[in-house]
Structure 1
Amino acid sequence: MATALECREALTTFSENLGKASGNAHAAAQLDRSLSCWITDLDVTFTGRLRDGRIQELVEAPGRPAAKAQIRLALAGDDLVAMVDGSLHFAKAWGSGRVKVEASILDLLKLRSLL
């Protein structure tokens, strides 16, 4: 089982990858939205802001998200780590219910190029 530190590192890597995105992915990464990522098996939430092509102001807190972010993810720590390292494809994880995403329909359309 992935640790909270490994999940933080995965989110940091994902943020760095966003900064290197090009084309449609670059445009999607330029959103300015609040973000939460609830790691269900650890019952810890990382919150931050997707801004300027990166996840900024990343904060860890115990439990479910305290506030409703504009983009919300819920998944196990191992799945987060696997998606970021490329061994689990987002569409497969989402389709099987291993990752849940809540956002506006417009944000989902923009985010699909990132995920």
Structure 2
Amino acid sequence: MATIDECRAALEKLSDSMQNTEGDVREAAALDRSVSCHITDLDVTFTGRLQDGRIVVHDTLDGPPREKAEIRLAMTGDDLVALVDGELNFAKAWGSGRVRLEAGLRDLFRLRKLL
């Protein structure tokens, strides 16, 4: 089972990857939205913002998100690490329910370019 530190490192790696993209993918990453990522097996939530092509984590909270972020993710820590390392396909994981992504319709259309 992935640790909180491994999950935080995976989010940082994802953020670095997003910032180094170009074209349509960079445009999709350029959203300015609140973000939460609930790690279900650890029952912790990382909260922050997607801005300037980066995910900036502001806080780590025990339990599920306390406020509804504009972009909400939920998955196990192992799945987060596997997604970021390229070992788990996001679309398949989302379709099977292993990963939950909730956002407004317009944001979902823009975020699909990241997937």
Q: Do both share a fold (TM > 0.5)? A: yes
Task: Give structure 2 stretches of 5+ with no counterpart.
Answer: none
Specify the alignment match of 1:39 in structure 2: 39
**Deviation of 1:57 (Å):** 3.9
Q: Which amino acid in the other structure matches residue 7 of structure 1?
A: C
**Deviation of 1:56 (Å):** 1.6
**Deviation of 1:23 (Å):** 1.2
> Normalising to structure 2: TM-score of the pair?
0.98
Seen in structure 2, the aligned counterparts of structure 1 residues 57 and 41 have a Cα distance that, compared at 3 Å, is: closer
Specify the alignment match of 2:80 in structure 1: 80
Specify the alignment match of 1:63 in structure 2: 63
Q: Which amino acid in the other structure matches residue 13 of structure 2?
A: T
Alignment: residue pair count: 115
Query: Equivalent residue of 1:113, what SS?
Result: helix
Query: Equivalent residue of 1:42, what SS?
Result: coil
Q: Deviations over 1:36-83 (max 9, x none)?
A: 000000000001100000012432111000110000001000000000
Task: Give structure 1 stretches of 5+ with no counterpart.
Answer: none
Seen in structure 2, the aligned counterparts of structure 1 residues 87 and 111 have a Cα distance that, compared at 3 Å, is: same
> Normalising to structure 1: TM-score of the pair?
0.98
Query: Equivalent residue of 2:113, what SS?
Result: coil
Whether the 8 Å CA contact 2:46–2:57 is kept in 1: the answer is: no
CA distance in 2, matches of 1:32, 1:94: 23
Specify the alignment match of 1:114 in structure 2: 114
Q: Which amino acid in the other structure matches residue 101 of structure 1?
A: L
CA distance in 1, matches of 2:99, 2:57: 23
| Root mean square deviation of aligned Cα | 0.7
Please list every run of at least 4 consecutive aligned residues from structure 1 whose deviation after the TM superposition is greater than 2 angstroms. none
Query: Equivalent residue of 2:114, what SS?
Result: coil
Query: Equivalent residue of 2:92, what SS?
Result: helix
